[in-house]
Protein backbone atom coordinates (compact mmCIF):
# COMPACT_ATOMS: atom_id res chain seq x y z
CA UNK A 1 0.00 0.00 0.00
CA UNK A 2 0.87 3.67 0.23
CA UNK A 3 2.50 3.22 3.65
CA UNK A 4 5.02 0.76 2.19
CA UNK A 5 6.00 3.22 -0.55
CA UNK A 6 6.49 5.98 2.05
CA UNK A 7 8.69 3.74 4.22
CA UNK A 8 10.91 2.85 1.27
CA UNK A 9 11.38 6.46 0.18
CA UNK A 10 11.86 7.99 3.63
CA UNK A 11 15.62 8.19 4.20
CA UNK A 12 15.67 9.59 7.75
CA UNK A 13 18.68 11.78 7.03
CA UNK A 14 19.01 14.97 9.06
CA UNK A 15 18.25 18.20 7.26
CA UNK A 16 19.59 21.58 8.18
CA UNK A 17 18.79 25.18 7.47
CA UNK A 18 21.41 27.96 7.65
CA UNK A 19 20.54 31.62 7.42
CA UNK A 20 23.26 34.27 7.13
CA UNK A 21 22.84 38.03 6.78
CA UNK A 22 25.67 40.14 5.40
CA UNK A 23 24.82 43.49 6.91
CA UNK A 24 26.13 46.96 5.97
CA UNK A 25 23.22 49.41 5.72
CA UNK A 26 25.46 52.49 5.58
CA UNK A 27 26.76 51.33 2.19
CA UNK A 28 23.79 49.52 0.65
CA UNK A 29 20.84 51.78 1.33
CA UNK A 30 22.35 55.25 1.27
CA UNK A 31 20.86 55.95 -2.18
CA UNK A 32 19.19 54.25 -5.16
CA UNK A 33 22.51 53.91 -7.01
CA UNK A 34 24.19 51.79 -4.31
CA UNK A 35 20.99 49.77 -3.99
CA UNK A 36 21.20 49.05 -7.72
CA UNK A 37 24.87 48.14 -7.50
CA UNK A 38 24.10 45.78 -4.60
CA UNK A 39 21.48 44.03 -6.74
CA UNK A 40 23.93 43.59 -9.63
CA UNK A 41 26.60 42.35 -7.20
CA UNK A 42 24.24 39.65 -5.91
CA UNK A 43 23.13 38.66 -9.42
CA UNK A 44 26.77 38.28 -10.49
CA UNK A 45 27.44 36.01 -7.51
CA UNK A 46 24.39 33.92 -8.42
CA UNK A 47 25.67 33.72 -11.97
CA UNK A 48 29.02 32.39 -10.71
CA UNK A 49 27.22 29.67 -8.75
CA UNK A 50 24.89 28.45 -11.51
CA UNK A 51 26.73 25.23 -12.36
CA UNK A 52 27.52 24.45 -8.73
CA UNK A 53 23.86 25.03 -7.81
CA UNK A 54 22.80 22.21 -10.13
CA UNK A 55 25.22 19.77 -8.48
CA UNK A 56 23.92 20.82 -5.08
CA UNK A 57 20.32 20.21 -6.11
CA UNK A 58 21.23 16.69 -7.22
CA UNK A 59 22.69 16.12 -3.73
CA UNK A 60 19.59 17.51 -1.99
CA UNK A 61 21.09 20.92 -1.18
CA UNK A 62 19.56 24.28 -2.06
CA UNK A 63 20.57 27.90 -1.56
CA UNK A 64 19.01 31.32 -1.89
CA UNK A 65 20.97 34.56 -2.21
CA UNK A 66 18.97 37.79 -2.16
CA UNK A 67 19.81 41.48 -2.09
CA UNK A 68 18.17 43.38 0.75
CA UNK A 69 18.09 47.03 1.73
CA UNK A 70 20.64 46.25 4.44
CA UNK A 71 22.99 43.93 2.51
CA UNK A 72 22.64 40.33 1.39
CA UNK A 73 20.72 37.32 2.76
CA UNK A 74 22.01 33.81 2.20
CA UNK A 75 20.10 30.68 3.14
CA UNK A 76 21.21 27.10 2.64
CA UNK A 77 18.98 24.11 3.26
CA UNK A 78 19.10 20.40 2.69
CA UNK A 79 20.87 17.30 3.98
CA UNK A 80 23.21 18.42 6.72
CA UNK A 81 25.95 15.82 6.09
CA UNK A 82 27.33 17.77 3.11
CA UNK A 83 25.89 21.18 3.84
CA UNK A 84 29.17 22.57 5.16
CA UNK A 85 30.88 21.82 1.82
CA UNK A 86 28.12 23.53 -0.12
CA UNK A 87 28.17 26.55 2.19
CA UNK A 88 31.96 26.72 1.90
CA UNK A 89 31.76 26.86 -1.89
CA UNK A 90 29.12 29.59 -1.78
CA UNK A 91 31.09 31.67 0.73
CA UNK A 92 34.33 31.26 -1.20
CA UNK A 93 32.52 32.48 -4.32
CA UNK A 94 31.18 35.50 -2.45
CA UNK A 95 34.57 36.44 -1.01
CA UNK A 96 36.49 35.81 -4.25
CA UNK A 97 34.11 37.77 -6.43
CA UNK A 98 36.52 40.55 -7.28
CA UNK A 99 38.73 38.16 -9.24
CA UNK A 100 35.83 36.20 -10.76
CA UNK A 101 33.64 38.78 -12.49
CA UNK A 102 34.25 39.31 -16.17
CA UNK A 103 33.32 42.56 -17.86
CA UNK A 104 31.32 40.73 -20.55
CA UNK A 105 29.30 38.82 -17.99
CA UNK A 106 28.72 42.04 -16.05
CA UNK A 107 27.20 43.65 -19.16
CA UNK A 108 24.93 40.63 -19.71
CA UNK A 109 23.75 40.56 -16.07
CA UNK A 110 23.19 44.32 -16.13
CA UNK A 111 21.02 43.99 -19.26
CA UNK A 112 19.02 41.14 -17.72
CA UNK A 113 18.49 43.24 -14.57
CA UNK A 114 17.37 46.19 -16.71
CA UNK A 115 14.80 44.04 -18.51
CA UNK A 116 13.58 42.70 -15.16
CA UNK A 117 12.98 46.20 -13.81
CA UNK A 118 11.34 47.33 -17.06
CA UNK A 119 8.97 44.36 -17.08
CA UNK A 120 7.94 44.83 -13.43
CA UNK A 121 4.68 46.41 -14.58
CA UNK A 122 3.72 43.06 -16.08
CA UNK A 123 4.01 41.30 -12.70
CA UNK A 124 0.87 40.24 -10.85
CA UNK A 125 -0.88 43.13 -9.11
CA UNK A 126 -0.15 41.53 -5.74
CA UNK A 127 3.62 41.92 -6.34
CA UNK A 128 3.24 45.46 -7.61
CA UNK A 129 1.20 46.39 -4.54
CA UNK A 130 3.85 44.91 -2.21
CA UNK A 131 6.57 46.94 -3.88
CA UNK A 132 4.55 50.15 -3.82
CA UNK A 133 3.64 49.70 -0.14
CA UNK A 134 7.28 49.03 0.72
CA UNK A 135 8.29 52.15 -1.17
CA UNK A 136 5.68 54.27 0.66
CA UNK A 137 5.98 52.81 4.17
CA UNK A 138 9.58 51.64 4.53
CA UNK A 139 12.50 54.02 4.69
CA UNK A 140 15.44 53.27 2.41
CA UNK A 141 13.26 51.50 -0.17
CA UNK A 142 13.77 52.91 -3.63
CA UNK A 143 11.26 52.95 -6.46
CA UNK A 144 11.97 50.83 -9.52
CA UNK A 145 12.05 53.90 -11.77
CA UNK A 146 14.83 55.40 -9.61
CA UNK A 147 16.84 52.19 -9.78
CA UNK A 148 16.30 51.93 -13.54
CA UNK A 149 17.53 55.49 -14.00
CA UNK A 150 20.64 54.76 -11.89
CA UNK A 151 21.36 51.51 -13.73
CA UNK A 152 22.67 53.36 -16.78
CA UNK A 153 25.32 55.06 -14.62
CA UNK A 154 26.69 51.81 -13.12
CA UNK A 155 29.97 50.58 -14.57
CA UNK A 156 31.99 47.40 -14.17
CA UNK A 157 34.54 49.23 -12.01
CA UNK A 158 31.75 50.58 -9.79
CA UNK A 159 30.64 47.03 -9.01
CA UNK A 160 34.21 45.88 -8.32
CA UNK A 161 34.78 48.86 -6.01
CA UNK A 162 31.46 48.22 -4.27
CA UNK A 163 32.28 44.51 -3.85
CA UNK A 164 35.60 45.41 -2.27
CA UNK A 165 34.01 47.91 0.16
CA UNK A 166 31.17 45.54 0.98
CA UNK A 167 33.42 42.58 1.71
CA UNK A 168 35.86 44.62 3.82
CA UNK A 169 33.28 46.36 6.01
CA UNK A 170 30.21 44.13 6.38
CA UNK A 171 28.93 42.41 9.52
CA UNK A 172 27.57 38.87 9.53
pTM for the structure as a whole: 0.82
pLDDT at 99: 66
Residues 6+ apart with CB under 8 A from 135: 141, 142, 143
**Is residue 51 very low, low, confident or very high in pLDDT (cuts 50, 70, 90)?**
confident
- Over range 21-29, report the average pLDDT: 87
**Mean pLDDT in residue range 162-169:** 90
Which among 98, 97, 106, 90 has a CA at the least distance from the CA of 55?
Answer: 90
What percentage of the chain reaches a pLDDT higher than 70?
A: 87
Would you say 14 and 81 are in contact if contact means Cβ atoms under 8 Å apart?
Answer: yes
- State the average pLDDT over residues 131-144: 71
Question: Which pLDDT value is given to residue 115?
Answer: 87
Question: Is the CB of residue 121 less than 8 Å from the CB of residue 128?
Answer: yes
Amino acid sequence: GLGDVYKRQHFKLPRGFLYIKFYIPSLVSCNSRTCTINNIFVFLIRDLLTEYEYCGQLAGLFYSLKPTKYGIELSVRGYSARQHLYLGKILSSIYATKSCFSKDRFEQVKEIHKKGIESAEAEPLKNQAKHLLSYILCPKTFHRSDRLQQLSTVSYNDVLSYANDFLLHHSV
